Chain A
Amino acid sequence: MKKLALLLVLLMVLPLAACGPAATTPPAAQPTTAPAVKELTIMWAQWDPADYLQKIGQLYEQETGIKVTVIQEPWGSFYNRVAAEWAAHGTAFDMVVGDSQWLGQAATQGHYLELTDFLKSEGIDKTVTEATLTYYGEYPTGSGRYWAYPTEGDAVGWAYRKDLFENPEEKAAFKAKYGYDLDVPKTWEQLYQIAEFFTRPDKGLYGVAIYTQKDYDGITMGFENVFFSWGADWKDPKTNEVKGWVNSPQAVEALEFYRKLYAFAPPGSSNDFFAECNNHFTAGEVAMAMNYFAFFPALSNPATNPYASVTGFFAVPAGPTGQRFAALGGQGLSINAYISPERQEAAKNFIRWFAREDIQRKWAEFGGYTCNKAVLASDAFLKAQPYNPAFADTMQVVKDFWNVPVYGQLLEVVQRELQAYVVGGQGTAKEVLDRIAEEHDKILRQAGLIK
């Protein structure tokens, strides 16, 4: 009985004891030396840059004692895994390096923490190139509201065979045929002529490897380089109107051009994306290959490319009016809105540290594609890898597809129609783009994005 009475007294006193000091101690008096959050998790796709980010995480741990774990999910299930966490308001990760196209959905549905004030007040927004901040971080486009820190810059560039381009006999034959020197193409027209010149089916050599894949966004990402460089766009930037934009005369010309270019791709290129383009190049089947910069390390590595020593890289060429745009890849680092305020603060601390120029320099050294302006312009970066100058150049001219919540529906229409025309040779460019404009208009009106 005595024991029971003692227990009751203890139960009554303990909560009081627990509440008392906390209520009287001001927050500033709490110890700040030991961080409350001991570890952070970052979700990303399974690929080399995620390994580089893990190395960055180790540096952070050495400096702060906070362990950073990069969870890697295979590309095929990456979006599913993240989306499942969003749906469940899950806290399995503190930060995610998400695709630029997810921004609209994640921002409007509250999955990402808004970083506008944080990035601006810390001056982080000024450290990265304008285009990357816009396409990796901003939603809605032009609103000045940011949801991600541009982390892994990426865009479409080109690899070419220097041994073919610099061969004196080839140079002489090219000059005799086209009247100018064979060199890295400055315009799409030159690229077309070089592709035509090197297309020699009897020798198993073709001009180009380009994106043609129907699944997800393959052919759209390939076509966009031409589409934007021709001066076309997916929408009126102010009203979101698509009719007259998607099917503008420039867009029609650009699509006709992309189809003409496909004629110089190797046989069996009807469903090519990044893996297939690299395969054509390493098999010695093509003189030039389009691909995301993220896949170029494999082309400059002799273990994976027998032509590595004679492989050069160049940025996207200019269209007929001199405009030059590259389709955007890459991702930004966002904070999961469902984690506790304490963890959100810890995640911001990590981003603040990661955005530092010296850390971005390390990030680039490890192999990450930094978006930091100063690092991109530095000599050390430009000389570090053969593709870095082209990358630094490209990061100034990137442009992206829609990033609204219904981007998946918009993308499906473009993928289907472009592939039918470019690969299947069905219909005319005008018909195809008219159909895309019509369907996009319908989808956007249903989603309330066109008034």
Chain B
Amino acid sequence: MALWSATQSVGSDRSARTGIRRRQLSDRAIQWLFIAPTLILLVAMNIFPLFYSLFLSFTNYSAISAAAPVWVGLGNYQHILSDKQLWTYFATTGRYAVAAVGLETLLGFGLAMLLREKFRASGFITTLILVPMMLSPVVVGLFWKLIFNPQSGIFNYLLGFAAGQGPDWLKDPKLALWAVVIVDVWMWAPFVMLLCLSGLNAIPEYLYEAAVIDRASPWFQFWRITLPQVAPLLLIAVLFRTIEAFKAFDLVMGLTGGGPGDATELIAVNLYRIAFPPQFQTGLGSALAYIILVLIVAISNLYIRSLSRIRGEV
């Protein structure tokens, strides 16, 4: 009995002390306790590298050099903006982005329209269509290399060419970029389809019923109901794919390595060559990365403005 009461008294004493301690922590302190780990990680992994790389972009720093960064002002930016070769890579990236994103949008939206209608095994077919976007881009690049082989690949065969008679897609500078576009569309049109499909499924059925009562044509229904309703999601898909197109690297490296010559040398691929082996020009690479970042932010802003206009927010 004595032991029980002693234990009770110790227990109540402890809880009282804990209670006091808890009371000492304000709500704001507890909030900070929860937020702090995330904030620390964010600062360490994102904010600091962002500003540090901005600083490096004004220096001649090389990550493998023992020498400290030397301030060169706008030298790196000047070098990039006056380098014709880099402008060629920007132009190639632009062409690639327009072609790939354009085709992905058309194909993805078309597939979504088809799969919107439920039919037998439509779920299974939807899953099958989604498989390419789940694969590793490097692996996709490597096996499409075999598919494009003019002697043994299936691509030319499907186009109706006999073995060895069709074009060599990865060797011809005029076709190589299209080869990369085709593979990117194959891989990412399902992503656009997925977003469009969710947009299409969210359109209330009564809108179409009202349109039918008003004897609206199928084209009118598509133009005035379907497209405006899906547009926000479609634009988000286009935004994501455009950003990805400017960052395209692994697929190109697996498929063409940037060649032949500079036919498929996208800006992200060249950024890798500048910033990593064998050049390791970290300062110049950082400056190029910032130029790409500004470009992506500018393009994203255009999309976001369009999105706001569609939603009637502007």
Chain A residues close to B by CB (< 8 Å): 79-80, 83-84, 86-87, 89, 101, 105, 109-111, 201, 204, 213-217, 266-268, 270-271, 407-409, 411-412, 416-417, 419-421, 423-426
Query: B278's contact among A79, A86, A214, A426, by CB below 8 Å, is which?
Result: A79
Contacts of A201 in B (CB 8 A): 151, 164
Judged by a CB distance under 8 angstroms, whether B257 is at the interface is yes
Excluding A84-B64, A419-B261, 15 further A-B contacts by CB distance (< 8 Å) are A83-B64, A87-B65, A109-B67, A214-B257, A216-B277, A267-B149, A267-B168, A268-B145, A268-B153, A408-B278, A420-B259, A420-B261, A420-B263, A424-B176, A426-B260
Query: A267's contact among B150, B258, B277, B279, by CB below 8 Å, is which?
Result: B150
Sample (11) of A-B pairs whose CB atoms are under 8 Å apart? A84-B64, A204-B151, A214-B261, A267-B151, A268-B145, A268-B168, A270-B256, A412-B279, A419-B261, A420-B259, A426-B261
Chain B residues close to A by CB (< 8 Å): 63-67, 145-146, 148-153, 164, 168, 170-173, 176, 253, 256-263, 265, 273, 276-281
Check A270–B259 contact: CB distance below 8 A: yes
Given contacts A267-B150, A270-B171, contact A424 B260 (CB under 8 A): yes
Nearest residue in B to A87 (C-beta to C-beta)? B64
Contacts of B64 in A (CB 8 A): 83-84, 86-87, 105
CA–CA, A417 to B173, complex, Å? Answer: 13
Contacts of B148 in A (CB 8 A): 268
Contacts of A105 in B (CB 8 A): 64
CA–CA, A420 to B92, complex, Å? Answer: 15
Check A215–B257 contact: CB distance below 8 A: yes
Nearest residue in B to A78 (C-beta to C-beta)? B277
CA–CA, A407 to B276, complex, Å? Answer: 13
Check A423–B66 contact: CB distance below 8 A: no
Contacts of B258 in A (CB 8 A): 214-215
Contacts of B66 in A (CB 8 A): 86-87, 89, 109-111
Contacts of A408 in B (CB 8 A): 277-280
Q: Shortest CB–CB separation between residue B173 and chain A, in angstroms?
A: 4
Q: Shortest CB–CB separation between residue A264 and chain B, in angstroms?
A: 14
* 9 closest A-B pairs by CB: A420-B261, A408-B278, A424-B260, A83-B64, A408-B279, A268-B149, A214-B259, A270-B171, A423-B260
Check B173–A424 contact: CB distance below 8 A: yes
CA–CA, A79 to B66, complex, Å? Answer: 15
CA–CA, A227 to B168, complex, Å? Answer: 27
Q: Shortest CB–CB separation between residue B267 and chain A, in angstroms?
A: 14
Contacts of B65 in A (CB 8 A): 87, 109
Q: Shortest CB–CB separation between residue B49 and chain A, in angstroms?
A: 16
Most buried by B among A101, A201, A215, A425: A215
Nearest residue in A to B264 (C-beta to C-beta)? A214
CA–CA, A399 to B259, complex, Å? Answer: 26
Contacts of B172 in A (CB 8 A): 424
Nearest residue in A to B260 (C-beta to C-beta)? A424
CA–CA, A360 to B186, complex, Å? Answer: 54
Contacts of B280 in A (CB 8 A): 83, 408
